[in-house]
Structure 1
Amino acid sequence: MDLAMNATSTPGLSGGYWNQFDEISKTNVSLNYFETLWLTWYVYMQNDVLATGIMSFVLHEVLYFGRSLPWVIIDCIPAMRKYKIQPNKIPTAKEQWYCAGFVLLSHFTVELPQIWLFHPIAHYFGLQTTVPFPPVWKMVYQIALFFFMEDTWHYWTHRFLHSSPFLYKNIHKLHHQYSAPFGLAAEYASPIEVMSLAFGTVGCPIIFASFTRDLHLMTMYLFVVLRLMQAIDAHSGYEFPWSLHHFFPVWAGADHHDMHHEKFIGNYASSFRWWDYIMDTENSPEATKRRREKKLAKVRKAQ
């Protein structure tokens, strides 16, 4: 049973959030705990635009700075230096504070106004905000598809920002201020770049929804959460024996993106390695060796 997400769908409720949660729990026993939390939030707010806007902004801030904090702590632990990709370039406390302040200012002045427009846009293109949530299998395949779509958008947009001297100098150069990146620097970028690359994260699911009319906001939130965690970890500057790409070879990870910041070229993709491999823009010792062998093979063939 789908329940509409506006206050008129559950009339007569009053009191605080948890009082309403208790009442809704009694009358909607088929919903699980998280679905009840979701429904109560929209009923409590009495305004879908405000409810989605606040939830989206708070989720982004808590996740961004919460996921970055462990990397700040790790940078303060000398024993972790052996895992640092560029061990001689540890960000100072001043750099960390400046970066955090810049990103926070950008979130409030650039991203917050756009977030308030998110609900009307999402609703127009068919995103669902009803309960119950979609089945897990549907969320999994949609999130996997969004990762592929976002990675493709990110690769070509990012590469374009590097291929144009004007765009690099006036837009993308700011993000490369730190040649040895750290977690907080994931969104340290020009507002134009933030909006351009963020289209892959937000726009791809909306495009999918506009064609299928079959996407729930919770699925999109889960994708955004995973993608943001991936971006922060990719900028962490640390490579561990248990890093995901050791078990999932096509995954990009910190070693892939750290090389991009150090050399300023190649490794343009976000989550996966295949676009860089296919387009021969991979920057790694293995890729360099592969190109050298390929060149020598051509020379021998010509002889």
Structure 2
Amino acid sequence: MEAVATAARGLVHHCQTVAAQRLTLHSPELWVSLLPVVFYWAVSAYFEVLDRLKLPAFEKHRLHSEQEAQARNQVSRSHVFWRVLLQHAIQVAVGVLMTLADPGFCDAKPWTGWLAAVPEFFVAMLVMDAWQYIIHRAMHESKALYNAIHSHHHRMIICYAYGALYNHPLEALLLDTVGGVVSFYASGISCKGSIAFFTFSTVKTVLDHSGYRFPVNPLHGLFPNNAAYHDVHHDPRGFRKNYSQPYFTHWDWLLGTYMAPGELKPLAIKQQQKQQQLQQSGQQDGDGKKEL
């Protein structure tokens, strides 16, 4: 018993020491987890204002109307709000635990400037894309995983900004939080660089779920994975397409799950024509029966 008490006191002392040194407002270890959360809600608030103001100049760039969102979405905005807050709490907690377990992780790779960080950023993007494609597609391919976990995210058929990270807590942990940790260590990015990378990734994810496709958007021009691209995946017609997120689309191209956003409308027309043909066929069968 005494050994357990001694170990507990030692653990508490370790946590207090690390927190005092590594989890202050001036420590990058804290901002790795905290700054992406701040930007998530700041960017989401901007799009929430646009949704509520309904300015004609912006409304014409919305992918779906508010009426359509209310009619098709299967989860309330308040539920989404609290679920995202839970995910952010888990995300920050994992960051704190990571610091307590490895206090020197920010010292392992010193910051050497933005130019040196560019290749690290690119590798981190590729790792993040690969991780999320594999996990995301597995959630769709497995009926059990989809029904138990990933179906939560697809209750939001019409996307909006602050619902970007609306997931089952287990998926949030596996897809985003663990995916971030894997990207961090696999890319060898510095701690300060990772603050910028995770914040940028968060902003990109919010933009991809914002429900807006503006004609001028540097990020959408630079990265083919954008709001219109991801909107295909949330549409039931593109349910098994466009798994890639948040940056590039090469995994969908390589593995045959790519669907261009422009294909949805022609597909809808084909379905309408097929329905009309079925109706006409039914009418002809009915006329034939009457003649008999």
SS in 1 for 2:68: coil
Tell whether the 8 Å contact from 1:96 to 1:184 is kept in structure 2 after alignment: no
User: Matched residues in 1 for 2:81 and 2:249: separation?
Assistant: 29
Deviation readout 1:13-54 (Å, 9 max, x if unpaired): xxxxxxxxxxxxxxxxxxxxxxxxxxxxxxxx7422565564
- 1:254 Cα shift? 0.3
Distance 1:72 1:288, change over 3 A: closer
Equivalent of 1:161, from 107, 118, 139? Answer: 139
> Alignment partner for residue 76 of structure 1, among 49, 52, 69?
52
The aligned runs of 1:1-303 (5 Å cut-off) are 46-49=20-23, 51=27, 54-78=30-54, 79=56, 80-87=58-65, 88-90=67-69, 95-108=76-89, 110-121=90-101, 123=103, 126-128=105-107, 133-198=111-176, 199-209=178-188, 215-244=189-218, 247-248=221-222, 251-263=224-236, 264-270=239-245, 271-284=247-260
Query: What TM-score do you get using the length of structure 1 for normalisation?
Result: 0.69
Aligned-pair distance for 1:138? 1.1
**Which structure has the larger Rg?**
2
Matched pairs, number: 237
Work out the CA distance in 2 between the residues paired with 1:285 and 1:98: 29
1:217 corresponds to which letter in structure 2? C
Q: Which amino acid aligns with 1:224?
A: F
**Aligned residues of 2:28 and 2:195 also touching (Cα < 8 A):** no
Alpha-carbon distance in 2 for matches of 1:106, 1:193: 10
Q: In 1, distance between residues paired with 2:187 and 2:125? A: 12
Structure 1 position 171, deviation (Å)? 0.6
1:259 alignment partner, SS class: helix
Q: What letter matches 1:118 in structure 2?
A: M
For residues 151 and 57 of structure 1, do their structure 2 counterparts lie closer, same or farther at Cα, with a shift above 3 Å needed? closer
SS in 2 for 1:74: helix
Q: CA deviation at 1:115?
A: 1.8
Q: Structure 1: give runs of 5+ residues left out of the alignment.
A: 1-44, 210-214, 290-303
Is the partner of 1:83 in helix, strand or coil? coil
Contact 1:152–1:275 under 8 Å retained in 2: yes
Shift of 1:201: 2.3
1:243–1:253: 8 Å Cα contact kept in structure 2?
A: no
RMSD: 2.9
Q: AA paired with 2:210?
A: S
